Structure 1
């Protein structure tokens, strides 16, 4: 036992110091690894900081991209800092970084699309970004930031280079057609039709509430979205059916926040006055493209009119007709009010150049009116012809068909200029406006039957009479009597069609001369109206026979309607109630159709463009 203890003591003495050496080596290794980790961490932090710096500087620099050339952006002017000044100021505001900023380089570039569909700067074969020529407008700015940090333990320093690409969006709000602009200039006829349509659609008596003070009142879309519990205008535009009363109540709240207490009171009164169960799809009246953000605004009266058409277009019972307040009120025509069918509501668009698209409303008028035809068409000394409907010679119950389709137009924002709003430096937008087919039609078919004595009249021309004598009698005989028997299909009719068109150049809305309350027409067309109707005799569906009596007898032959001189008959039709009552109907329809066309901004050869507010240029965002 004693020997075993002695052997163990000798072994312990031999291992004295081994643990210390192990601990020392391990500590050195741990310290080295820790130092490496610290230095590596600082390297990673400087990379992160350089990326953050490049991002914020790129966004600041992108604010200069407002349509000026690269030379103008680089050099600056009395109202704009130069590119280098903006970069230096941005760096000064963001110096709370690890290490030192060795280089901060902005490059104005043109964007292209790579094979993956990403937007990237144009580069040369070596991979370096290609600067935009001095006389061209840059798409974006590429900022490259290089930073370094001294290592805490190792000798030397670590570097990191990061880049960021930013561009500046230009966006605007516009609409095709403006209820407010039309009401501001259209007078009583336009106002009466608007009042009637809103009352029929929303149950709101505008004459009691009043709205004249709202014609130039706008509200902020961002605040409206927030009041409705929606995060952004984009989400507002995708909102489904919302109660009309809630939409108006939220609008009133926004107006109050903006300090417009009188407008707030009027809109609150509207919110209480509308039929409370009505809902409207906000997406039908508001289109928000990419980049539409905080400064979008909406005219209050345009909102009201769009809501009325929107409600009218989607009513659940299919009765989507809106009363215009104009009556037929014509002799021989069944009474009633002129109603328009709402197909689609007008839409305001807010968004970036190239993405914002708005459309006008689509409405149609189609009515089959009872028309009491006269018993006879008097032809003076020639006699008269019986009048009836085409299918029944005994019936006087005709049908006057009146139809019009205002299929609307659409517009895409293609340019925007953020000027000073002066004669020497105007601001405005450009919109490519495509129009759809416009059609109008009036038709009253009827039938003329009977026999008249045309002896001595010009209805049967002499040349035709001589030809008949030759063919019927073989020689020229002494005529004692000429009778013409008619069975003629006729109608008072007018039909017009304006084909759709695709824009080849933008319609420019410039301020001045415009002022965001009046419209710019895309073409020199007039509001849509029914033209005057004329009388049409259908030769293909008519039959005419001529009985010629001579000293030697009487014979009959058929002739074509086109061989006759029909002026006496046409003149009689022109002065008859058939034509005069049709003309009266057309005049009454136009009392509704022309104001509606003005309210919707639809013209015979184009559409009305309204820029709602000044465009916003230089709104920066990172690309990629």
Structure 2
């Protein structure tokens, strides 16, 4: 007989529904608590960033005695209300944040804090389970001073006539002929104004802009200069340059200005218009550098016939951002010489013929912001900056290919390679700005000399009668070095490099650094 099993599944469904309803209730209640936790974290982050801006170099006692301190806390919490649950309980503690470990230590009394720790908590009533659940989250924010500086500015070099060659070259790059634009050396525009004119509201948006033609860049600069009260003559000159530039490759703002991403405080920096024009001209010119073919070089050796090529490379010069992030670099030079040396002296009754090639690289000097403090520009309260500079390095590779003949028969031949890299110890430009006008003072670092000394000589390719040069021919090699190679190095230093670099207005083993008004010590960043 078959049993009637109808309705047997009903108890199972009832049990499962109970379990599902309980699970759903727990999920809803725990979800509400999770939302409160997220809201408290967001609230703590925002209040911490708001309140750290009110520190302003004061002691804990002075901050807490200021009635606006608590008002600022209440305003920040109110502005960022709308959190789930009960009204949040917010606690703000002043302290010191270690810049390396980011550890927050509360301080009191006469200590000057550089950060705040904000704890935000709230309760939310559960929807299904009796009772309530709470969440508490914390955030730490610290002041992050932001400053800008520039290195190797064109403004001073061109306006003072120290770099007449560069002046002509930039004019040639822009197709301006004899048009003089040195008057722009005293014109400035704000980076914020330029960013706004180009349709960018933040530093990140500015750096992400597509490449601009020089005409677009100069027209935008002219508009900003006019809006910010620049002289009519300077505005007209910029407009004339914008209309007369040839079809050079476009430039990217990220290549033109070295600004740390996210550093919106850098928008307050003011740009020298001549720097902007000259640097963008260099970057847009063909391969990114200017070339001077056929440079006339005399090394003091009769009959010397050399071909030459000089490249001057201008990198972005402005550095903006926090300590250890704001960076900038100066110019580079690459010099290539090659040819035949004739009229060489006789060595031990033999005749010598030689050719030479020279590769000279003057590497960029790099500056990094290492310290900044903000004063009031009152007596005894200056702004200060320190920029550490890795000096420009001269790397020289001189190859003299020598053939020694006895009675017209080659007896020894091969290259003598001389390489020299003078040491470049990092230097510091420590700058103090007691007045706004003092920002125009340049600060020079480095020794300022070329110093082609301590050359290492490589003769591994030199052969005698087809065999590698051995110790037995050292007597022959020594006169070659003393009579040919060493005079070449001395001539290159005194006759070519020093006058050439003076003409370009460039100092080797050092850099010129300027501060840019003014640093912002109230910029803030989350630290935990």
TM-score by length of 1: 0.60
* Aligned residue number for residue 69 of structure 2: 87
Match of 1:178 among 153, 158, 162: 153
> Does structure 1 residue 109 correspond to structure 2 residue 95?
yes
Partners of 1:488 and 1:538 within 8 A in 2: no
- 1:240-263 superposed Cα distances (whole Å, 9 cap, x missing partner): 421112112211211111101233
Q: State the partner residue of 1:428.
A: 384
SS at match of 2:360: strand
Would you say the 8 A contact 1:57–1:87 is kept in 2?
no
Does the CA-based 8 Å contact 1:520-1:609 persist in structure 2? yes
Which residue of the other structure, out of 175, 185, 192, is the alignment partner of 1:222?
A: 192
Where in structure 2 are the equivalents of 1:41-190 lying within 5 Å? 61-66=51-56, 68=57, 72-76=58-62, 84-88=66-70, 90=72, 106-111=92-97, 122=104, 131-134=106-109, 136-142=111-117, 166-183=141-158, 188=161, 190=162
Could you say if the C-alpha distance between residues 105 and 387 of structure 1 is closer, same or farther in structure 2, counting changes exceeding 3 Å? closer
Deviation at 1:423, TM superposition (A): 6.5
Counterparts of 1:584-595 in structure 2 under 5 Å?
587-595=495-503
Aligned pairs (5 A) from 1:489-508: 495-499=419-423, 507-508=429-430
In the alignment, is residue 292 of structure 1 matched against residue 264 of structure 2?
yes
Deviation at 1:419, TM superposition (A): 1.7
Give the equivalent residue in structure 2 for 1:465.
none
| Change over 3 Å in CA distance of 1:202–1:593 after alignment to 2 | same
User: Quick one: distance in 2 between partners of 1:495 and 1:166?
Assistant: 51
Which structure's CA Rg is the greater one? 1
Contact between 2:59 and 2:112, CA under 8 Å: does it hold in 1?
Answer: no
Change over 3 Å in CA distance of 1:336–1:95 after alignment to 2: closer
- SS of equivalent residue, structure 1 residue 612: strand
Distance apart, 1:50 and its partner CA: 11
* Paired residue total: 465
Decide which of 207, 215, 219 is 1:237's aligned counterpart: 207
Go from structure 1 to structure 2 and tell me whether the alpha carbon gap of 1:529 and 1:594 turns closer, same or farther (over 3 Å shift).
farther
SS at match of 2:167: helix
In 2, Cα distance between equivalents of 1:532 and 1:194: 31
- How far residue 307 of structure 1 moved from its aligned partner, in angstroms, is 1.7
Q: Indicate conservation of the 8 Å contact 1:170/1:416, yes or no.
A: yes
- Matches for 1:258-297 after TM superposition, within 5 Å: 258-261=228-231, 262-289=233-260, 290-293=262-265, 294-297=267-270
For 2:138 and 2:477, locate their aligned partners in 1 and report how far apart those are by CA, in whole Å. 87
Q: CA deviation at 1:74?
A: 2.6
1:527/1:603 contact within 8 Å kept: yes
Deviation at 1:235, TM superposition (A): 2.1
Structure 1 partner of 2:166 = 194
Deviates more, 1:534-543 or 1:175-184: 534-543
Go from structure 1 to structure 2 and tell me whether the alpha carbon gap of 1:58 and 1:564 turns closer, same or farther (over 3 Å shift). closer
Which residue number in structure 1 is paired with residue 310 of structure 2? 339
Q: Kindly tell me: are residues 592 and 346 of structure 1, through their superposed partners in 2, closer, same or farther at Cα, counting changes over 3 Å?
A: farther
Q: For each residue in 1:314-355, what CA deviation from the matched residue of structure 2 results, as whole angstroms up to 9, or x when unmatched? A: 45xxxx55228953367634476652163x723422112233
**CA–CA separation in structure 1 for the residues paired with 2:65 and 2:139:** 16
State the match for 2:520 in structure 1. 616
User: Matches of 2:515 and 2:39 in 1, distance apart?
Assistant: 42
The aligned residue for residue 16 of structure 2 is none
Tell me what 1:413 maps to: 369
How far residue 194 of structure 1 moved from its aligned partner, in angstroms, is: 1.1
* Residue aligning to 1:386: 351
Cα distance in 2 for partners of 1:339, 1:241 equals 27
Give the 3 Å change call, closer, same or farther, for CA 448–141 of structure 1 in structure 2: same
Note if contact 1:414-1:506 (Cα within 8 Å) is conserved in structure 2: no
**Which of 193, 216, 223 is 1:246 aligned to?**
216
Cα offset, 1:48, TM superposition: 13
Task: Work out whether residues 214 and 280 of structure 2, in 8 Å CA contact, stay in contact via their aligned partners in 1.
Answer: yes
Gaps of 5+ in 1: 1-46, 123-129, 148-158, 390-398, 453-484, 544-557
* Secondary structure of residue in 1 paired with 2:517: coil
What are structure 2's unaligned runs of at least 5 residues?
Answer: 1-36, 82-86, 123-133
Let me know the Cα RMSD of the aligned residues: 5.1
SS in 2 for 1:87: helix
Residues 141, 305 of structure 1: CA spacing in aligned structure 2 closer, same or farther, 3 A cutoff?
Answer: same
